[in-house]
Structure 1
């Protein structure tokens, strides 16, 4: 019995994107339901490094002849010529979003595209220098654009375009009367007042004769003043915007910003932040990450005045201390917080800030590379029960078997977890098998009873690194015995497998993780992204179980997993039907059998990285793309003086090296 179309659409609303995409391949009725207008609003047709022409088999022609009308298109690193004009004639009026990223396209073709895409709501042109190089784009009546108007355009994004000028900016702004968001990140925006005096005489109307040589903040500011009532979000990341410029922007009459991004702006000072928080009190999103001159004073202003803030990023604002972090408790609506790489923040600041009371609002927290201990992580876990994303990577002393167990107990809603390079985490923590005590009903965190002070009191005559290898082997053996002996109902630990909603997991560099964890702790039906790079103890035995229990993986990172052999990759490509991105760099035991398995079983693979795989022949690597239609990128080692007869002369890493690197903190 076939379900009605409306019922299928209703059911598909409960499926994540990957599952819905897989369901659309079952039959035609499911395909149509999965591409209902409800879902198409967020779907993007992506053309990356593809050959676009008027051939009937061209990817673009397939979309042109499809019964499904897509509204959002992204072109990345492709050539767009006049041979595709028929596509814009047919599909242009239906386009709501268009992104051109690093594309090879001339002015004439670009103008033709715009003439047919008048219903755009979002237009992004990123690093397309050929379009702007002449400075004549959208200039005159000869192009038929003198009266062109994008009445529905809300978001104009022109990042990374070094040839953008005031004149070009003026033409784009004039064509978008209802513009609400403007992105000029990474552009050569000039702030020096001397340039303004050079190109514009005092008292002149800059809109009548805008400069065709430079892009000045003064001109952009005048454009914002003229559209102040409509502008909601601005993006000036990676520019030289300073405190004075931000102050003049903040004081624009009738401007009520909801979002501002000034990421990586080294010239930004507390003066600008003070003016911003004084005049733009409606801000909901603020990104001042990597602004090195931001201090506690700025954070005090932000927390006192921006009470509606929902997103805050102060990544690597190294002058921020506990004094500023304590003020975060005033932001009652904050949902996303990034305070990573702020070296002066300690547990006290977190305790008096976001953990002052139980916080049921915060959903995403990034604290990677903070100098905290495991009690801080435990405190965060107990006070932030609604977290959906948590990044505690590089918190070397904070992420242990004990603290990770508390996370598995409390953060059951997590969809993203990153604990990269936290080398104190072992199988005991991930499996929850740290202690065999079925009589104890204590629900507290469980720590492996195999401590650093080993129970074996024999004098070890080897090196310290070799002693650690022996200790890891004994710990692995103990945990394996526990896992085989006990079931879920007979131990008091908390396994990683409790996080049923996990979609992204990064445990790269956690070298104490072995096949035991992959076998007993990895059971995620919705896991899409998995990073196991530099987990050098895993083998094909653990990969076999992992693939069976995590069938939805699309991105798989196995860089520098030296112990993996061809059998592991065979299991991966056979079991992971949705695999799109596979990184095998540095897995130097792999041979041509790996590529043969990829060629035979991967139907959706887009990117594969086999750099440093010395036993894989370059000829086979170069030819594999012809057998996999979706594959557009194969990364392999370049020929060099160290290549002998097609084989890279690279010796396997010594067995003691990973442990030694952990000791010296050199990874």
Structure 2
């Protein structure tokens, strides 16, 4: 039946599968292979291309496949880099939609030539490309700027994060070449702020020729308010009055805003943001150390459409603030890592939504929440039956795919067995749990059979016997971190090699019971493993990268 389906329909069906399942489906027959290849491309797979002459044949091959997402590494002003850029512009440029040059050092001329060969670009990442902006002459010639504007007419997302030499003039030249820009990142750029005659107000002065000013950014936002959807101003030390001025721009309807590590933000500024930008679906306030419970209450009252919320390192946040999270009915991901005063009870009550269906949450990060107790995250089954419980329990979050409990030191085998029952969970971190033993490992294996990424570093009570029993439960495992697990030996590697055939990355660094001979035998047993981290194994300091 499936063989008679048109290729387009089969591609559409396979696009709903996770990447590992798509790879398995590609082995069925020729038709499924081509459908899976199309699905890979539609899944926005990014190809990382090292800049060297050895990459030229591969670039030609990728061009024939019509790939559309590329990231370059080791790019500089050398002749080899110039040749690679020429190949990319010629072979990949017509179909290229996403281009990442992060931390590269291209010359201005080679960058312009590359952009002119990529007329379909929608995403451009120039974060850390300081060489392009050092001279201040990028796009200073009107005829070149006009040609670049034609090439970037479809650009929707621009990342200028971490550019220490970015100033108003170069920002204005580049942004004017992207009239349809919807997403802008200036994360960790050196924004400057001027106070107006009224204390705390923002001065309406014009652009600066020698610095990147908030006033110029505010002017840009006002001009693009009807189209702009997301801003990343993380690490810019945005003051409260600047956030309020940004929130009040007429016609601005942001969907995503990242303010990570803006330490001076106040509760009042966040409350004003929530009133003015009530359509936000993603907000990152991680590291905004002045914020506490009142700020989270304002977020939950004002941003009812929120799907992604970052609260990492809000060390003044307590259980009282967590009570309001139940109001976020569409929440999909929550990061509360390093919120050391959160114990879990109010969090469980809010997320389990006793008075309605739980939110469709897929990612929950609670790493380094040192006060967290799983006994407060769940209620025991009253009849002993293994069913989804009613009441305050994270077990209600049956759509969860990622869970991070790193360094939640109060967790035990018994408490983990009560909570870790997520059949769809793909990624789990239990590193730095001093009480985790083989009993807890087996409970995790039974409750989370779909794991693809598992991190268990510094879990020193796990033994070979536990892994011998648990490994068979994880046939889909691809990434496994067992670094600094002092009781593991080559027997664990044998069990993993026999049961985890899809493994791609293994970290056994600083495992004193595993020697280099065992690592080499494992590599022969599973040749598809592309990276084995084995630092200080058997006294060696070595990384196998194939």
CA distance in 2, matches of 1:422, 1:273: 29
User: Match of 2:48?
Assistant: 47
Rate the CA distance shift 1:612–1:55 in 2: closer, same or farther, 3 A. closer
Rate the CA distance shift 1:601–1:29 in 2: closer, same or farther, 3 A. farther
Q: How many corresponding residue pairs?
A: 522
Rate the CA distance shift 1:42–1:542 in 2: closer, same or farther, 3 A. same
Matched, 1:505 2:428: yes
Contact persistence 1:47–1:76 (CA under 8 A): yes
CA distance in 2, matches of 1:594, 1:563: 15
CA distance in 1, matches of 2:524, 2:173: 52
- Pick one of 303, 310, 315 that aligns with 1:313: 310
Instruction: Return the TM-score normalized by structure 2.
Output: 0.84
CA distance in 1, matches of 2:300, 2:468: 50
Contact persistence 1:140–1:146 (CA under 8 A): no
Query: How far does residue 599 in structure 1 lie from its aligned partner after superposition?
Result: 4.2
Contact persistence 1:381–1:407 (CA under 8 A): no
User: Match of 1:89?
Assistant: 90
Query: How far does residue 238 in structure 1 lie from its aligned partner after superposition?
Result: 0.9
Query: How far does residue 243 in structure 1 lie from its aligned partner after superposition?
Result: 0.5
1:318-467 equivalences under 5 Å are 318-345=315-342, 349-350=346-347, 357-362=354-359, 363=361, 364-368=363-367, 369=369, 371-378=371-378, 410-422=396-408
User: Match of 1:256?
Assistant: 253
Rate the CA distance shift 1:303–1:417 in 2: closer, same or farther, 3 A. closer
Rate the CA distance shift 1:571–1:334 in 2: closer, same or farther, 3 A. closer
CA distance in 1, matches of 2:317, 2:442: 42
Rate the CA distance shift 1:25–1:190 in 2: closer, same or farther, 3 A. farther
Query: How far does residue 347 in structure 1 lie from its aligned partner after superposition?
Result: 6.0
Which stretches in structure 1 are left out of the alignment for 5+ residues? 195-200, 383-387, 389-402, 433-444, 446-493, 629-667
Query: How far does residue 219 in structure 1 lie from its aligned partner after superposition?
Result: 0.9
Rate the CA distance shift 1:581–1:375 in 2: closer, same or farther, 3 A. closer
Contact persistence 2:451–2:477 (CA under 8 A): yes
User: Match of 1:638?
Assistant: none
User: Match of 1:435?
Assistant: none
Query: How far does residue 191 in structure 1 lie from its aligned partner after superposition?
Result: 1.6
Contact persistence 2:311–2:336 (CA under 8 A): yes
- Pick one of 167, 170, 180 that aligns with 1:168: 170
Contact persistence 2:364–2:403 (CA under 8 A): no
Rate the CA distance shift 1:359–1:60 in 2: closer, same or farther, 3 A. farther
SS at match of 1:126: coil
Contact persistence 1:589–1:615 (CA under 8 A): no
1:656-667 equivalences under 5 Å are none
SS at match of 1:505: strand
User: Match of 2:507?
Assistant: 583
CA distance in 2, matches of 1:541, 1:348: 34
Contact persistence 1:74–1:99 (CA under 8 A): yes
1:450-497 CA-partner distances (Å, limit 9, x unpaired)? xxxxxxxxxxxxxxxxxxxxxxxxxxxxxxxxxxxxxxxxxxxx9x5x
Contact persistence 2:260–2:287 (CA under 8 A): yes
User: Match of 2:295?
Assistant: 298
CA distance in 1, matches of 2:434, 2:222: 55
User: Match of 1:488?
Assistant: none
1:396-448 CA-partner distances (Å, limit 9, x unpaired)? xxxxxxx9xx9696554432333334556555566x6xxxxxxxxxxxx6xxx
Contact persistence 1:233–1:260 (CA under 8 A): yes
User: Match of 1:244?
Assistant: 241
Contact persistence 2:373–2:410 (CA under 8 A): no
User: Match of 2:385?
Assistant: none
RMSD: 3.5
CA distance in 1, matches of 2:396, 2:322: 24
Query: How far does residue 531 in structure 1 lie from its aligned partner after superposition?
Result: 1.2
Determine which structure has more spread, i.e. the larger CA radius of gyration. Answer: 1
User: Match of 1:459?
Assistant: none
